[in-house]
Amino acid sequence: MSSLLFPLFLFSRNSVLGPGFVRYWLPDLLKHEYVALRFLAQASYEQAAKMRVSPAPDVVTRVFMLFRGVAPGDVGLWEQAAARVAAEDGATFWTNVVGIDSARAADRSLFRVLEWGGIEVK
């Protein structure tokens, strides 16, 4: 579990999300010895769950995580995915996957909207 939490921890330290994301999801993640997770690209998430805000924000950041427990005997099935994340640091990898503009999302002079959530896939 620690090798998968490390990228998640780095991602959560991003000033856009703050520590609340991990604090909320950590109890559910810790129920499993091994976890597979994926963050959805904002564009994909927007197609599935439209959001309208008025007045229109300068920056919208939507982060949605899918995760599932992985049986110890199935960990090998996830090696390719783990290698992809390990090729660069976890924060950069997931920030790029989601499509976060970290500089604009952290700019307090802008009207920003942040939505985060997730679901355990069983």
pLDDT tens for 44-96 read: 999 999 999 999 999 999 989 999 999 999 989 988 887 877 776 666 777 88
2 pLDDT above the threshold of 50: no
45's tokens: 């998430």
CA separation, residue 37 to residues 14, 59, 65, 109 (Å): 18, 25, 7, 33
Using 50, 70 and 90 to split pLDDT, how confident is the model at 112?
A: very high
35's tokens: 């976890």
pTM given for the model: 0.80
1 pLDDT above the threshold of 50: no
Supply the pLDDT for residue 9.
47
Give dist(CA 94, CA 114) in Å, integer: 16
The H-or-E segment that residue 69 falls in is strand 59-69
Supply the pLDDT for residue 15.
53
pLDDT tens for 7-36 read: 554 454 555 666 777 788 889 988 999 888
Give the start-to-end residue ranges of the domains of the chain: 2-120
The H-or-E segment that residue 23 falls in is helix 20-29
Supply the pLDDT for residue 26.
85
